[in-house]
Amino acid sequence: MKLFIALLARELRLSLRHLGDTLGALLFFLVAGALFPLAIGPSPETLGRLAPGIVWVCALLAALLPLDRLFGADYEDGSLDQLLLCGLPAAAIALGKALAHWLATGLPLLLAAGPLGIMLRLAPEALPALLGGLLAGTLVLSLLGTAGAAIVLGARRGGVLLPLLVLPLAVPVLIFGAAATDAAAAGLSPRPHLLLLCALLAGALPLCPIAAGAALRGAAE
């Protein structure tokens, strides 16, 4: 446990030192979201109807941005060997990395999603469903992304391969996340969709770190 916290502290210190990379995902999220009113016009009905989908797709793409450096830098400078030999199981290392990715990328996205939603004329009553869905959704994305990043580690075109691997897996998150917000905007209960998102999280939480851990060991060989 002490080692796990030390790993988390190391990762967060590194993301603070490379603040440009960390904030890059957040700024991409805001800029990409702000492009939509320019492209499809400022009419409140159209924007409000599209807002849940826009926020979700932008969050999904923004969460992918920092993934190829998640293990890449450690792999290249030999730190990955040291991590694998630190005494933690490989799956715990992957879980720590996923948690650090969420704290450095998912949490800022979550905080920015509210203002972006309001900017896109999202119905105010749908806001809690959007944020609740994103809370579970960004966690699943961090876990899936970590597994994907570990699997493409060492591949020659890993940066291109990674979205192709992770985006199809993220489709259920997108569907239920956007549907929860849509339901709330239409005056229905977002509960079933949110529960399905939580079920996805409950599945990804044990499976993704195990897959990522096995991939890390394979990459180190």
Q: Where are the beta strands (DSSP E) in 33-103?
A: none
Q: Is 139 in contact with 106 (CB distance < 8 Å)?
A: yes
Nearer to other proteins, 83 or 139 (CB): 83
The answer to whether 3 contacts other proteins (rule: CB under 8 A) is yes
For other proteins, which residue of 38, 39, 45, 85 counts as binding (CB under 8 A)? 85
Using CA atoms, how far apart are residues 46 and 59, in angstroms rounded to an integer? 20
Residue 124 CB burial class (10 angstroms; 0-12, 13-18, ≥19) = exposed
For tokens 């994305």, what's the residue? Answer: 141
The answer to whether 20 contacts other proteins (rule: CB under 8 A) is no
Q: Which stretch binds other proteins (CB under 8 A): 14-22, 42-50, 106-114, 198-206?
A: 14-22
Using CA atoms, how far apart are residues 11 and 101, in angstroms rounded to an integer? 9
Using CA atoms, how far apart are residues 95 and 93, in angstroms rounded to an integer? 5
Using CA atoms, how far apart are residues 103 and 20, in angstroms rounded to an integer? 15
Q: SS3 helix, strand, coil % of the chain, rounded to 5?
A: 85, 0, 15
Instruction: State the nearest-atom distance from the C-beta of 62 to other proteins, in Å.
Output: 23
For other proteins, which residue of 38, 41, 156, 221 counts as binding (CB under 8 A)? 221
For other proteins, which residue of 32, 50, 79, 174 counts as binding (CB under 8 A)? 79
Q: Which stretch binds other proteins (CB under 8 A): 31-39, 79-87, 102-110, 152-160?
A: 79-87
Residue 42 CB burial class (10 angstroms; 0-12, 13-18, ≥19) = exposed
For other proteins, which residue of 31, 82, 164, 206 counts as binding (CB under 8 A)? 82
Q: How many CB atoms sit inside 10 A of residue 86's CB?
A: 14
The answer to whether 81 contacts other proteins (rule: CB under 8 A) is yes
Residue type, 160: V
The answer to whether 125 contacts other proteins (rule: CB under 8 A) is no
The answer to whether 93 contacts other proteins (rule: CB under 8 A) is no
Using CA atoms, how far apart are residues 162 and 65, in angstroms rounded to an integer? 10
The answer to whether 9 contacts other proteins (rule: CB under 8 A) is yes
Instruction: State the nearest-atom distance from the C-beta of 182 to other proteins, in Å.
Output: 42
Q: Which stretch binds other proteins (CB under 8 A): 43-51, 54-62, 86-94, 164-172?
A: 86-94
Nearer to other proteins, 17 or 191 (CB): 17
Binding site for other proteins (CB under 8 A): 2-3, 5-7, 9-10, 13-14, 17-18, 73, 77-79, 81-82, 84-87, 89, 217, 220-221
